[in-house]
Amino acid sequence: MPAIEVENLTKEFNGLTAVDNISFTIEKGEIFGLLGPNGAGKTTTISMLSTMLDLTSGKASVNGFDITNNKDEVRKSIGIVFQDQSLDEELTAYENMDFHGRLYRIPKEIRQKKIRELLQLVGLEDRKDDLVKTFSGGMRRRLEIARGLLHEPKILFLDEPTLGLDPQTRNHLWQYIKKLNEEKNITIILTTHYMEEADKLCNTMAIIDKGKIIALNTPGRLKEEIGGDIITIESPNTDKLAVYLKQLPWIKSTQKHNNHLTINLQNAEKHVADIVRLSEKNKIDILSISIHKPTLEDVFLHVTGKTIREEEASTKDNMRLRRRMWRR
């Protein structure tokens, strides 16, 4: 039995399709990433899977339980860290944990023991009696993760776990998440719009854009699918350059993007000189040139035709509109 099974899941808000007919399976023990720009439908997907939001059509099961007909069992099986903070700032770290333990009906002795263990795991045992309002962003996140684990969930949902954290704290959190997955064998589903996060953490990832899953594989495979090397050229005249390059047999594909041209090819080191010579001959200026192995950034560009930052800019207005509609 897989940890999570999603079939043709769809969610509409007043005619706007936030999640559009997506399907995927997450095996036990995996770290599964939903990568996409803001407003792509990641949080909506997580909200449906965690029973916080009713689905419009399709079906899904979590830990073998249907998310529509068996909400309580689903809720018992999962731990969740929401994108926005959900701690009570007027309570101490210990009290927040204790409240959670009581909500999940964990008997007192076990509760006390587990709270101590988990606070230790996330390095907050010294601060357990301090009010949460005195905590930094990273500490709050760690506390939320510890809290999400208190009732020993089979599956942990992390919605943008490192959003707004500094790089060092982010690195620490990644280590925690990896450790949890390895030592406790917890299945983890996380959403992110950080490429690096998805690359470092996930065994399998789905790229989601405008509510649809447009690529689904391991980060390694996704990069392999592009294959070879990537040369990125910055030039004021990418159109002309692209035309010339397309005639060359060893160029697999090119993609224009503002004044950047991304070229996909084998053995870039050998051919870079040819490209420079070609543009020299045709009087095309080259402002900069770089060679690298395909990254997830390139994968994203390849499947959506845009960088993730541009996607965010274009969905922002859309999101604002949607948020206003929710408010009503």
Partner 1 sequence: MDIVYAIWLRNIKRYLRSKSRIIGSLGMPLFFLLILGFGLNSVVDIPGMGQDYVGFIIPGIVAMSVLFTSIFSGIQIIWDKQFGFLKETLVAPVSRMEIMLGQTLGGATTAFIQGIIILTLSLFIGASITNLIGFLIAFLFMLLIGLCFTALGIAIASKMEDMHGFQLIMNFVIFPIFGLSGAIFPIDSLPSWLKTVTLLDPLTYGVEGIRYGLLGTSHISPLVSGSVLGSITLVMIILGAYLFRKTKV
Contacting positions for partner 1 (CB under 8 A): 50-52, 71-73, 75-76, 80, 82, 84-91, 95, 99-100, 102-105, 147, 327
Minimum Å gap between C-beta 326 and partner 1 is: 8
Within its chain, how far is the Cα of 288 from the centroid? 31
DSSP secondary structure letter of residue 84: S
- Cβ-Cβ contacts under 8 Å for 93 (sequence gap 6 or more): 119, 124, 127, 128, 129, 130, 132, 135, 143
Q: Which is nearer to partner 1, 19 or 275 (CB)?
A: 19
79 or 138, CB closer to partner 1?
79
Residue 85 vs 253, nearer CB to partner 1: 85
User: Residue 191's Cα: distance from chain center in Å?
Assistant: 3
In sequence order, the 6+-apart residues with CB closer than 8 A to the CB of 211 are 17, 18, 19, 20, 22, 40, 41
Minimum gap (Å) between residue 21 Cβ and partner 1: 24
Q: How far is the CB of 133 from partner 1 (least distance, A)?
A: 11
Nearer to partner 1, 162 or 235 (CB): 162
Nearer to partner 1, 139 or 241 (CB): 139
Angle CA 144–192–186, to nearest 5:
55
SS3 string, 175-217, reads HHHHHHHHHHCCEEEEEECCHHHHHHHCCEEEEEECCEEEEEE
Q: What 3-state DSSP class applies to 113?
A: helix
Nearer residue to partner 1 within complex by CB, 72 or 269 = 72
Alpha helices in the chain (DSSP H): 42-49, 71-77, 93-103, 108-121, 137-149, 167-184, 195-201, 219-226, 238-246, 268-281, 296-304, 308-327
